[in-house]
Amino acid sequence: MQILVVEDEVSLADAIVAILKKEQYFADAVYDGKDGLDYALSGIYDLILLDIMLPKMNGIEVLKELRKQGISTPVMLLTAKSEVDDKIRGLDTGADDYLTKPFNKGELLARIRALTRRKGEIPANEMTYGDITLNQSTYELICGANSVKLGGKEFKIMQMLMYAPKNIISKDEFIEKIWGYDSEAEYNNIEVYVSFLRKKLTAIKSTVQIKASRGIGYYIEG
């Protein structure tokens, strides 16, 4: 994780770099907007902390130029309390977050974690476990280049299993959540759907297995 700090207040810039290094991030500091832009354009950074009031080129101009050149690295603006307008302009220009100075170490690190996590995040409509991904909008179960579409009940069973992997889900729980309390569904309904799912897992060459816990229910492992 490589972070660029662009801040003309040298003691602050260096203090931030020291904090980041202590947390095992790689960090570089530059002290004016022009250097900031040059470094940021290298594309090697995972996050840029960008002051707004900077010599040579201000932070908003740097940000504008970066976005114009197709650099989508997350940018967190460092703003003084008096720079509310700039902050809004910055967010409009494509900043991902801002931090008002003075800030404390904990706040800085928490925001950095949130921003860098967001970057590699799995879309909310997908669940993953082992080598499989379940797309919750298309009901597709994917393993590498292979995929298979699940029926409605198969999908719900898979979703419950993947939501709490290694937890045994009882046949009663499946029936309640999928067929409803008052349904006439029998345990062997579940068994039939689980056998369909097992065939589909084999078909997409997944190593994930649906295991039966004798008499109680099912769980996945892989």
Binding site for Ca ion (CB under 5 A): 8, 51, 53
Q: What is the phi-psi region of residue 39: left when phi exceeds 0, alpha when psi lies from -120 to 50, beta otherwise?
A: alpha
CB of 142 to Ca ion, least distance (A): 47
Going by C-alpha positions, the residue among 34, 46, 26 that lies closest to residue 8 is 34
Q: Which is nearer to Ca ion, 51 or 86 (CB)?
A: 51
Q: Give the C-alpha separation, 90 to 192, whole Å.
A: 56
Q: Which is nearer to Ca ion, 1 or 57 (CB)?
A: 57
Least distance (Å) between residue 8 CB and Ca ion: 5
Minimum separation from the CB atom of position 64 to Ca ion (A): 17
- The whole-angstrom separation of Cα 157 and Cα 165 is 12
Rounded to a whole number of angstroms, the minimum distance from the CB of residue 104 to Ca ion is 19
Nearer to Ca ion, 38 or 186 (CB): 38
Of 58 and 206, CB closest to Ca ion = 58
Alpha carbon distance 36, 45 (integer Å): 11
Q: By the 8 A CB rule, do 97 and 77 touch?
A: yes
